[in-house]
Amino acid sequence: MNAPKKRKTRSASKETSKEKRVRILFVASEGLPFSKTGGLADVVEALPKALVAQGYEVAVVLPRYRGTKAAALVMPSLTIPLANRLRFPAIVDGGVVSGVRYFFVDDPAYFDRDGLYGNSAGDYPDNAERYSEFCRAAIELVKHVWPADVIHCHDWQSALVPVLLRTSYGDDPAVKDIPVVFTIHNMGYHGLFPREVLQRAGIPLGVYHPAGMEFFGSVNFLKGGLIYSDYLTTVSKKYAQEIQTLEYGYGLDGVVRGRADRLIGILNGVDYSVWSPDKDKLIPMKYSAKDMSGKHVCKQALLELFGIAPEHAARPVIGIVSRFADQKGFDLIAEKALELMKEDVSLVVLGSGDRKYEELFLALASTFPGRAGVKIAYDNEIAHKIEAGADMFLMPSRYEPCGLNQIYSLKYGTVPIVRATGGLDDTVEPFDLEHGTGTGFKFAEYSGAAMMYAIRQALHHCTDERIWRRIQLNGMAKDFSWKGPAAEYAKVYEAALTLRGAGQASRNQMPVATSN
Ligand code: ADP
Ligand code: GLC
C-alpha cells in the first residue's frame, strides 16, 4: 500500500477535535454488547471504541436480533425492494455506548429468530435476502441519518454495501463515492448462493460475471466485497499473505492476488478492560504478573467446575474455548485424543457447533471421567474462567485469520500451544530455552504428530517451575491493545478518502446529520 497523503480538509486527530470529525460507519452482522457468535463481535465492539479515542466519530449498524432491547425509532419504515416485493424495515436508535453510536436494522421476520445465521437445521435459507436488506438499509441510513465519510464493512454479510454503492446507487451523488474499507475476518465463509438469489436478493444482474460476483455458476457475496471495495484489510499480516495462496484462499486467492496492492494485514487487538486477570470480574480471584497467587485459586475453581478429580490438581490442565468448526483443527485432536490422554494432563473444553466435534469431546469426557471435562455451551463467564484457570491453551487451527483466545491467554499467564498459521503465528513466539525468550509453543505441519510434539514440549517445560514462570511472564508482558491497530486503520481510512477525494469534497457540502 502506498503511504496516504495527509488530508488537509478534515483530520481525525485530537488537536483538531473542534473541527467536524471524520465519520466512520461500521456495517457488521454481529457486535458486542448486543450480539456475538465469534471474534468478529469482539472486534466490532473494541475497534470503534479505539477509533473514538483517536478522534474519529464512529457509528455501528447491526441487525436487531432477538434480545436487543427496543429503542427509539429513527426511521420507522424504509422501502427496500427485494424480489418482486417491497420490505419495510425500520432503523432503530441503539444509543451511545463508550462513545460509539449504535443503530439497528429492525425487521422481526428476518432477525428476531433463535440464532443469528441459522438454527439446528442449518443456515437460514433466506440469508441472502436478510443480509441484502441489511446492506440496503445501512446505505439508506447513511443517506438520511448518519452521513458517513467512510464505510467499514466486515465479512460477507456486509459485502453488498460496496457492490450496491458502485452499481444500483451509482447515480446517487449522496453516496456513490463514499469510500469503502472491507475487512476479511474469515475467507472460509463466502455467502455462496444459487443464481436465483440475484433476483431474490435484488442484486443487479450486471454484477453476475467472472470479474464480479459470479463464482462457478453461483453468487458469491464475499467476492463482491473483495472486488467492489476501495481497500481490503484482514486481521493479521500472516493471513494477508496466506489468503493469496491456493491452500488458504478458498478459491478466491486469485481475486485477492489481483487486489494485493489494496490489501493490508492489521492484527486484531484486545480490550484489556475486559480480558485481563487484574480486572476480570468473572474469575474467582484476580491476579497479576506481580502476584500470581490468584491463578492457583482460579485453577482449583476451574477443576471443580469441570469435575476434574482433586488428585489431578497438581498436574497441568489444558484449556480449549472454541466454536466447533473444521477451521479449528479438532480433527487433529480426534486423531490423537488417546495419545494425549496418556500424558499427565487434564483437559477442559468449552464449545459448541459441529455435532461431530461435540460428540468427540463428550466421548473423551466419558472415557476419562475426572480428567477430561467438557461443556457444550456458549458461555462467556466460563470462557473467562478457562483463560484464568488453565495452565495451557490449545489452538491447533487448520487456519486462523487472527484468533483472539491465544492473545487473551497470554495476558492470563496461560501458555498457548498453537499451530503456526495466520494470527496464531503472528502473536505467539516459540519459547527459546537458551535465551529465556518466547511466549508459547507452536507447530507448523498440520498433523497430529506435530501437534503432540508441541504439547510434549510444553509439558516438559511445565515441570520446571522457574522456566514455566518465565514463559508465563513473557506472555503477560506483551501488549496487544487496540491503540496500534486503530492507528493502522486510521491510515487506511485516510488512504481511502484520498483515493475518492473528489466525491468526498462534494459530500462535505451535504447537510450535517440530524442524529445527535
Ligand atoms: P472465531 O471468531 O473464529 O470463533 P476468535 O478466536 O477470533 O475465533 O474469537 C472467538 C471468540 O468467541 C472469543 O472471544 C472466545 O472467547 C469466544 N468464544 C468462542 N466459543 C465460545 C464459547 N463456547 N463460549 C464462550 N465464548 C466463546
Ligand atoms: C474470524 C476468525 C478469527 C478472528 C475473528 C475476528 O471469526 O476466524 O480468527 O480472530 O474473525 O477478526
Task: Name the residue at shortest CA distance from atom 12 of ligand 1.
Answer: 38
> What is the rounded (10 degree) CA torsion for 499, 211, 1, 51?
70
Poorest-pLDDT segment among 24-28, 58-62, 505-509: 505-509
Give me the pLDDT at residue 1, please: 40
Helix H or strand E segment including 367? helix 355-367
pLDDT band for position 509 (cuts 50, 70, 90): very low
pLDDT digits 0-9 by tens, 235-258:
999 999 999 999 999 999 999 999
Best substitution site from 405, 414, 421, 428 to test ligand 1's pocket, by max atoms within 8 Å of Cβ?
A: 405
pTM for the full model?
Answer: 0.93
pLDDT at 408 over 60: yes
Q: What is the pLDDT of residues 132-178, one digit of tens each?
A: 999 999 999 999 999 999 999 999 999 999 999 999 999 999 999 99
pLDDT above 60 (res 16): no
The residue nearest atom 9 of ligand 1, judged by CA position, is: 39
| CA–CA gap between residue 428 and residue 118 (Å, rounded) | 33
Distance 41 CA to ligand 2 centre (A): 9
User: What atom in ligand 2 is closest to the CA of residue 397?
Assistant: 9
| Residue in the structure block whose three cell numbers are 480433527 | 331
Q: Are 374 and 365 in contact (CB under 8 A)?
A: yes
Pocket lining: 421 vs ligand 2, CB cutoff 6 Å: no
Please state the atom number of ligand 2 nearest to the C-alpha of residue 185. 11
Parallel, antiparallel, or unpaired for β 80-82 and 85-87? antiparallel
How many C-beta atoms surround the C-beta of residue 196 within 10 A?
11
How far is the centre of ligand 1, averaged over its atoms, from the C-alpha of 412 (Å)? 16
Q: Is the beta carbon of 423 within 6 A of some atom in ligand 1?
A: no
Nearest partner of 417 among 477, 345, 481, judged by Cα: 345
Atom index in ligand 1 nearest the CA of residue 350 equals: 23
Question: Is 198 touching ligand 2 by the criterion CB < 6 Å?
Answer: no
Rounded distance from Cα 118 to ligand 1 centre (Å): 17
Average pLDDT over residues 312-336: 96
303 CA from centroid of ligand 1 (Å): 21
pLDDT exceeds cutoff 50 at 511:
no
Ligand approaching nearest to the C-alpha of 154: 2
| Residue among 78, 129, 252 at smallest CA distance from 182 | 252
Ligand nearest 187 Cα, by number? 2
- Cis ω on the peptide bond leading into residue 310 (within 30° of 0)? no
157 with 26: CB under 8 angstroms?
Answer: no
191 pocket-lining for ligand 1 (C-beta < 6 Å): no
For ligand 1, whether the C-beta of 348 sits within 6 Å is no
Q: What is the mean pLDDT of residues 180-193?
A: 98
Cβ 235 under 6 angstroms from ligand 2: yes
Ligand 1, closest atom to CA 43?
7
What is the per-residue pLDDT across 455-484, written as a single tens digit (0 to 9) for each? 999 999 999 999 999 999 999 999 999 999
Residues of the chain by 3-state class (helix, strand, coil), percent to 5:
40, 20, 40
Out of 6-10, 113-117, 278-282, pick the least confident: 6-10
Nearest ligand 2 atom, CA 400: 9
Instruction: Tell me how far apart the alpha carbons of residues 323 and 182 are, in angstroms, rounded to a whole number.
Output: 24
Mean pLDDT of the region 299-306: 97
**Mean pLDDT of the region 478-506:** 87
**CB of 269 shorter than 6 A to ligand 2:** no
Is the pLDDT reported for residue 126 higher than 50? yes
The alpha carbon of 386 and the centre of ligand 1 are apart by a number of angstroms equal to: 12
Is the Cβ atom of 365 under 6 angstroms away from ligand 2?
no
DSSP reduced 3-state for 205: helix
The residue to mutate among 42, 324, 330, 395, having the most atoms of ligand 1 within 8 angstroms of its beta carbon, is 42
Q: In this prediction, what percent of the chain has a pLDDT beyond 70?
A: 93
Spatial separation of the C-alpha atoms in residues 394 and 247, rounded to whole Å? 23
Calculate the alpha carbon distances from 124 to 130, 191, 194, 351, 354 in Å. 9, 12, 14, 21, 16
Q: Report the residue among 116, 117, 183, 186 best suited for mutation to probe ligand 2: largest number of ligand atoms under 8 A from its CB.
A: 186
Atom of ligand 2 nearest to the CA of 188: 8
Instruction: Check residue 120 and give its pLDDT.
Output: 85
Torsion of CA 87, 90, 91, 97, to 10 degrees: -120
pLDDT tens profile 355-368: 999 999 999 999 99
Higher pLDDT: 45 or 314? It is 45
